[in-house]
Amino acid sequence: MSTGDLYYVYKNQTRHIVEFRNGWGTAPALWGHLCENILHIDSSSWITGGEDQRKLWDLAIDPNVSKEFRLVHAFTFDRAICPLERREELALECESVYRQIVLKHPNHINHWNSIAVALKVIKPPKKAKGIGLSCTSVSDPWIDWIGGDTWDIFDIFKQVA
C-alpha cells in the first residue's frame, strides 16, 4: 500500500516528517473531487491523462475555483513547497478542503485534515526552505531529492488575473 508523506525541504536534501497510510487519501481524494464537482467528469479521469488531465492541472490557476482548492491542489504538484512561515495558512485551507470532500464522500480515505494537523504542530527547522508533499510512495519526488528547483505554492495566485 502506498503512503502520502510530508517532508522538510532544504537546499540540497529533504527530511521526512510524517507518513499517511494509503496514498489515495492525498492527491487522488482531491483530484477525484475536483474532477466530479468542478469539471463534471468521471472522478478517475485524472488517471487516464489527455485533455481531462490537462483541465484538472489547470484548475490550480483558474480564478473560478476557490482559493482553498487552488492552493491545496498546487501542493499536490511535484516540487511544490509551502514556505514554513505560511504553513498555518495552508493548514486552514487543508481543513476546508477536507470538510468539503468528506461531505460528498464520507466513507472515502481522506488525509487532508491530518495533513492540516501536522502542518500546525510540527516545529520546523529554520534552515528548511519549506514543506513538500509526496502524494504516493510509488513515485515519491522528495525521497531521493538532492536539490534543484522548487516552487512556492502561493505563487499560483500571482498567475491569476
Characterize the bridge pairing of strands 80-83 and 151-152: parallel
The pLDDT value given to residue 160:
55
Backbone angles phi, psi at 91, to 5 degrees: -60, -40
The pLDDT value given to residue 161:
47
The pLDDT value given to residue 95:
98
Number of Cβ atoms within 10 Å of the Cβ of 20:
21
Domain that holds residue 65: 3-158
More confident call, 101 vs 136: 101
Number of domains in the chain: 1
Contact yes or no for 75/153 (Cβ under 8 A): yes
| pLDDT of 23 over the 70 cut | yes
| Cα distance between residue 85 and residue 143, in whole Å | 23
The pLDDT value given to residue 50:
80
Cα–Cα distances in Å, from 91 out to 18, 43, 88? 15, 24, 5
